[in-house]
Chain A
Amino acid sequence: MGKTLIEKIIARNLHDENVKAGDIVTVDVDRVMIHDIFIPFVADKFKEMGFKKIWDTDKVVLIYDHLVPASQTDDTRHFRAGDAFAEEFGPIHVHRSDGICHQLMPELGYVKPGDVVFGTDSHTVTYGCVGAFSTGIGYTEMAGILGTGKLWIRVPQTIRVNINGKLPENVSAKDIILTVIGDLRADGATYQSLEFAGDTVDALSVAGRMTISNMTVEAGAKCGLFVPDDKTAAYCGLGGTLPEELAQLRPDEDAVYSRVMEYRAEDFVPVMACPSQVDSIRPVAELAPEEISVDQVFLGSCTNGRLEDLRSAASVLKDRHIAPFVKMIVTPASRSIYEAAAKEGILDILSEAGAMITHPSCGLCCGRAGGILTDDEVVVATNNRNFLGRMGTSKVRIYLASPLTAAVCALEGKITVPAAYKE
């Protein structure tokens, strides 16, 4: 019987061709990511468990991103705890202000196709964009992995999502994944793998695939996978073509799926996730007549803080200014994205349009600083969650959208349908 992509990845990890969905197996971990909020807890549990050394220090990446820059006086304790842990049990890889963990892991080459990766963050699913199995775990399990290099998992069943055709010009990867989450609902893929395929998906950049993989957890998925291709190889620094050994990382024709969803790319429209559930999806065109005024726009996060996202917003804002009394906060996802956007003149365009450009970090998405709001305010944001109270009080209304839609909303000061984006 044929295998899905997740079954292939796990079979490769275990050197066992008989692996199938539903099996409970123990995988060898290729890489782990820990971020600043949880490092003190991981360190405590690791010691409490009685471990004396990390199983493989080169496989451990520690990233400070949620608390950068510190916004509460106790925040820097987390940096000190991380530094102390790295000193005692390292050398591990530490990034202290280089950007958001999920951007850095693929960008800096810590994740390769076929890898099995765990992180102390639910959006660890992002690395499915390069055909890696990656998912979020808690700090106790992370401490266990640091000691043993292993973790048990149940091999998930797979929902296949086929998308074919050409996307309308005002639609981006964000609109695709929001639409799919709307159809699946917030628990529609719980315990399952989402596998994306079709010529629309093939045509997406790795950045676009990253946006999609990143949000699969919002449908409850354990992972969101793309078949690695030449673009993946180039992104991961493996050369212009995918190495032979990794070409096996594709689902079999006769793989068994729990569900198959079919989409025509032409049918997608710009959408938003409305307050306060990620699966509360409506077309922007349906919201626009309600004249919903916008107080703030947030462009950033591991979902949509990449160069092409900033470029898309800049295409709308060039030589224009955001609406009076509207704030726009731009938080690039990594240091290298910030630098590239500065070199390309994108930051000039955004700043001259009135946006505030912050240092790369989680920023507003994690709700600790970076643009917190108050009762009755409306924010259009490009990140991944609009949960109640996520960005301030529980009376803040959060709409999730693509960078293009968000930029148009900043310009008009109200929820507005974006026109086609021309590069």
Chain B
Amino acid sequence: MGMTIAEKIVALAAGVPEAKAGDIHTVELDYLMSNDGTTHLTVDMYNSLKHPRIADKNKLVWIVDHNVPCDSPKTAASQKKMRDFAKLNGITFYEGEGVCHQVMAEKYVCPGQLIFGADSHTCTYGALGAFGTGVGCTDYLYGMVTGKSWVLVPETLRFVLTGELSHGVTARDLILTIIGKIGANGANYKAMEFTGPAMKTLSMSDRLSICNLCVEAGAKTALMEVDEITLEYLAQHGGRTPKACFTSDPDAVFAAEYEINLSEVVPVTAKPHFVDNIAPVSECADVAIDEAFLGSCNNGRLEDLRLAAEIIRGRKVAPKVRFLVVPASREVYNAALKEGLLNVFMEAGAIVMNPNCSVCWGSCQGVIGEGEVLVSTGTRNFKGRAGDKNSFVYLASAATVTASAIAGKITQAF
């Protein structure tokens, strides 16, 4: 019987010829990514083990990105614990280099790999044909100590993408539309696989944005086939070579298959307080905003900044609106700096920060107050996610967020 991409990657990691949805396999992990949201807890658990050891330190990548620069003595202590442990044990360590998933995509992830990340948005790596999934500290610790873990092979929902996005409609609108369609638990425990003729119209930036948000539909992982766009990205980013490039077999079994015509997608927003509470931007026009956020592992890449800069060049942020622009990584920051994009935002009156999770994480930088409204390219709009428990987050594309920052209310860009 044929296998899906997810089944093939698990089979490879388990060293077995075949895996099928529902099987449980012991797998060899390729990387274990962890960030400052939880690593200090993992370190505590590790230190309480009777015989602590690290199976392979080269598989560990630790990234401080959530509270950067540090905002309180408490987070400083957590980060110090993580930093000291990394230093002592020779673990690859990044601090201030960007949002973990963007850094992983730029430097590590290879097609065919199976990667655990102590962060729910680890499914981002599917854009590069890798099986990335989020785990908790205990799973992470087990992987760190043994180099292995177990995986319940997921069923796959297949999305066949056709057509082409209209001008002013982004990959972000596409994935939000899909989440709206299948619901916030529509892909629970499952893999979401994207394929179809429209794939060639989607850049790596688009693909990362799509896979990143699949966890908001409950997905365990997201997957895409490796093509020229993937290989070119790998070549430009350290000349990495794939572990394996998989496509689903013609006779693979899918839990469901959807055809999505990209030309039918319109700019949308996820209204408070659920990611699947989707409505066309036109329906939310006139919602006044206090803050706009362009950034995160979902939409803080160079292409997003270019699109936003094109919209805001020569214009100004609305007087009382705070427009937070946060490139997703140092690579993105440096490129945007060289292209003059950062000064476009500065001249418009935006607040341009160093690469980090910023208000998408919602515990420090750019938090919003009681009754305030944020329009955001971040990943979540849960109640209280961006600050005060009585505040409101609308998720939208880089284009919508930027146009809204200028208008002072939710506005469609094109």
Chain A interfacial positions (CB closer than 8 Å to B):
68-77, 79-80, 83, 96-97, 325, 327, 329, 335, 338-339, 342-343, 347-348, 351-352, 354, 356-359, 363-364, 368-375, 377, 392-393
Stretch at the interface among B107-115, B184-192, B365-373: B365-373
Given A97-B322, A342-B342, A347-B337, verify A369-B76 contact (CB < 8 Å): no
Interface size counted on chain B using CB atoms at 8 A: 48
6 A-B residue pairs with CB within 8 Å: A75-B367, A76-B369, A77-B370, A354-B96, A372-B75, A392-B73
Q: Is the CB of B353 within 8 A of A359?
A: yes
* B38-87 with Cβ < 8 A to chain A: 68-73, 75-77, 80, 83, 87
Q: Is the CB of B70 within 8 A of A373?
A: yes
Q: Which 5 A-B pairs have the closest CB atoms?
A: A76-B369, A374-B76, A371-B69, A356-B354, A369-B71
Q: Is the CB of B77 within 8 A of A356?
A: no
CA distance A364 to B172 in the complex (A): 35
Q: Is the CB of A359 within 8 A of B367?
A: no
Contacts of A327 in B (CB 8 A): 69, 95-96
- The verdict on B338 contacting chain A, using a C-beta distance below 8 Å, is yes
Q: Is the CB of A359 within 8 A of B351?
A: yes
- The verdict on B165 contacting chain A, using a C-beta distance below 8 Å, is no
Q: Is the CB of A69 within 8 A of B353?
A: yes
Q: Is the CB of A76 within 8 A of B368?
A: yes
Given A351-B337, A359-B353, A392-B76, verify A372-B330 contact (CB < 8 Å): no
Q: Is the CB of B77 within 8 A of A374?
A: yes
Choose one: A73, A352, A363, A368; the contact of B367 (CB below 8 Å).
A73
Contacts of B338 in A (CB 8 A): 348
CA distance A343 to B343 in the complex (A): 8
* B376-393 with Cβ < 8 A to chain A: 387-388
Given A69-B351, A372-B75, verify A351-B330 contact (CB < 8 Å): yes
Least Cβ–Cβ distance between A294 and chain B, in angstroms = 14
Given A70-B369, A359-B351, verify A348-B337 contact (CB < 8 Å): yes
Least Cβ–Cβ distance between A328 and chain B, in angstroms = 9
Contacts of A357 in B (CB 8 A): 333, 354
Q: Is the CB of B367 within 8 A of A369?
A: no
Least Cβ–Cβ distance between A131 and chain B, in angstroms = 31
Sample of 8 more A-B contacts, CB < 8 Å, known A97-B349, A329-B69: A70-B387, A75-B369, A80-B369, A327-B69, A327-B95, A363-B69, A369-B70, A373-B70
Least Cβ–Cβ distance between B290 and chain A, in angstroms = 7
- The verdict on B324 contacting chain A, using a C-beta distance below 8 Å, is yes
CA distance A189 to B368 in the complex (A): 42
Contacts of A75 in B (CB 8 A): 367, 369
Contacts of A348 in B (CB 8 A): 334, 337-338
**Which of B93, B96, B388 has the most A CB atoms < 10 Å from its CB?**
B96
CA distance A372 to B76 in the complex (A): 6
Contacts of B330 in A (CB 8 A): 351
CA distance A339 to B349 in the complex (A): 11
CA distance A48 to B80 in the complex (A): 46
CA distance A247 to B75 in the complex (A): 53
CA distance A363 to B297 in the complex (A): 24
Contacts of A96 in B (CB 8 A): 319-320, 322, 349
Chain A minimum-CB-distance residue to B77: A374
CA distance A43 to B26 in the complex (A): 64
Contacts of A377 in B (CB 8 A): 76, 80
CA distance A335 to B333 in the complex (A): 17
Given A71-B365, A364-B69, verify A359-B372 contact (CB < 8 Å): no
Contacts of A73 in B (CB 8 A): 367-370, 387-388
CA distance A357 to B368 in the complex (A): 22
Contacts of A392 in B (CB 8 A): 73, 76
Chain A minimum-CB-distance residue to B319: A96
Q: Is the CB of A374 within 8 A of B69?
A: no
Q: Is the CB of A97 within 8 A of B351?
A: yes
Least Cβ–Cβ distance between A345 and chain B, in angstroms = 9
Q: Is the CB of B368 within 8 A of A358?
A: no
Least Cβ–Cβ distance between A128 and chain B, in angstroms = 29
**Which of B350, B359, B369 has the most A CB atoms < 10 Å from its CB?**
B369
* B173-226 with Cβ < 8 A to chain A: none
Contacts of A368 in B (CB 8 A): 71
Given A80-B369, A374-B73, verify A359-B352 contact (CB < 8 Å): yes
Least Cβ–Cβ distance between B188 and chain A, in angstroms = 31
CA distance A374 to B77 in the complex (A): 5
Given A71-B364, A71-B367, A329-B69, verify A358-B334 contact (CB < 8 Å): no
Q: Is the CB of B366 within 8 A of A69?
A: yes
Least Cβ–Cβ distance between B136 and chain A, in angstroms = 25
Contacts of A97 in B (CB 8 A): 322, 349-351
Q: Is the CB of B342 within 8 A of A356?
A: no
CA distance A80 to B322 in the complex (A): 12
Contacts of A72 in B (CB 8 A): 364, 367
Contacts of A364 in B (CB 8 A): 69
**Which of A70, A325, A370 has the most B CB atoms < 10 Å from its CB?**
A70
Q: Is the CB of B95 within 8 A of A338?
A: no
Least Cβ–Cβ distance between B300 and chain A, in angstroms = 15
Q: Is the CB of A71 within 8 A of B334?
A: no
CA distance A358 to B353 in the complex (A): 5
Q: Is the CB of A71 within 8 A of B351?
A: no
Q: Is the CB of A339 within 8 A of B343?
A: yes
CA distance A80 to B355 in the complex (A): 27
Contacts of B70 in A (CB 8 A): 369, 371-373
- The verdict on B346 contacting chain A, using a C-beta distance below 8 Å, is yes
CA distance A80 to B321 in the complex (A): 11
Binary CB contact string for chain B from 324 to 358 against chain A (1 if under 8 A, 0 otherwise) = 10000010011001101011001101111111000
Contacts of B387 in A (CB 8 A): 70, 73, 76
Q: Is the CB of A70 within 8 A of B367?
A: yes
Chain A minimum-CB-distance residue to B320: A83
Least Cβ–Cβ distance between B64 and chain A, in angstroms = 9
Contacts of B333 in A (CB 8 A): 351, 357
Q: Is the CB of B349 within 8 A of A71?
A: no
